[in-house]
Amino acid sequence: MAVFGLLHGAFEGAWVWEFLTPELRQLGHDAIAVDLPINDITAGWDDHVDVALAAFGDGDTIVVAHSRSGRMVPRLLERGKFSDVILLAASIPGGILPPPYQSGGAPAAGAVTAQTRKTDSLGRTVCTREVAERLFDDCPPGTVDWALAKVRPQHELPVPDDTRWPDVRVAYVYGEQEPAVAPEWIKLACRERLGIEALGMPGGHSLFVSRPAELARTLDSLVPVR
């Protein structure tokens, strides 16, 4: 049995994993999902890491970082003793291989662009219907309304500088019809930052909603033999 520690992306919370978690348990695994302090304008990356470490415990947890939460992975690996990371359509600041890199740590393409970015009175980015339609583009009918009832405003934090990660096993999974993170960037960044080939599967940005059973099987296949 493996324990997956699930880190959500922008605007979201632990709720976004509710379809994937039972699929993982059906395969004999467990999952721990957290609510990162994305809406707290005083919270930095270390505050995000505090939440993850408090929930995940020791290093036997397999960290699964989706989208923007990839940005907290370097600091999480510095402070926690994790040996396995699965990036899910995620940013990759730094990497296993030493910098410098040609690819940026965060992809240029995204669901939120300068044209679509809307902010609240505290300067936090809000998830509009247009953005939600991109994030959940290939999900079942009603998903966008379901998500918009739960999303939180996102306090933007800077992308961490490129630094070399501790020695960990790492995999990268993405949807081949990904609308928010350019697949070309994913493939290049994985090769030059992580020294791996990205694993593509049918679907878009939110595979845990659109294809939870298929994603669970993919994650199951990535569990290391101990």
- Average pLDDT score over residue span 51-56: 97
Q: At 221, which amino acid appears?
A: S
- Average pLDDT score over residue span 95-118: 81
Least confident of 47-61, 103-117, 167-181: 103-117
Residue 68: inside a domain: yes
**Domain assignment of residue 187, given as a range:** 3-221
Least confident of 2-6, 20-24, 221-225: 221-225
What gap in Å lies between CA 223 and CA 118, rounded to an integer? 39
Please state whether the predicted TM-score (pTM) of the whole model is above 0.85.
yes
pLDDT of 173 above 70: yes
> Residues with Cβ < 8 Å from 202, sequence gap 6 or more?
175, 176, 177, 211, 214
Residue 205 is part of a domain; what is its CATH number? 3.40.50.1820
Residue 226: inside a domain: no
Residue 160: inside a domain: yes
Residue 108: inside a domain: yes
Residue 25: inside a domain: yes
| Token pair listed for 221 | 């296949």
What gap in Å lies between CA 150 and CA 183, rounded to an integer? 28
Q: How many domains does the chain have?
A: 1
Residue 132: inside a domain: yes
Average pLDDT, rounded, for the chain: 94
Least confident of 31-40, 65-74, 83-92, 115-124: 115-124
Residue 146: inside a domain: yes
Nearest in space to 12 (alpha carbons), one of 193, 153, 184: 153
pLDDT band (50, 70, 90) for residue 57: confident
- Average pLDDT score over residue span 155-161: 94
Residue 125: inside a domain: yes
- Average pLDDT score over residue span 108-124: 78
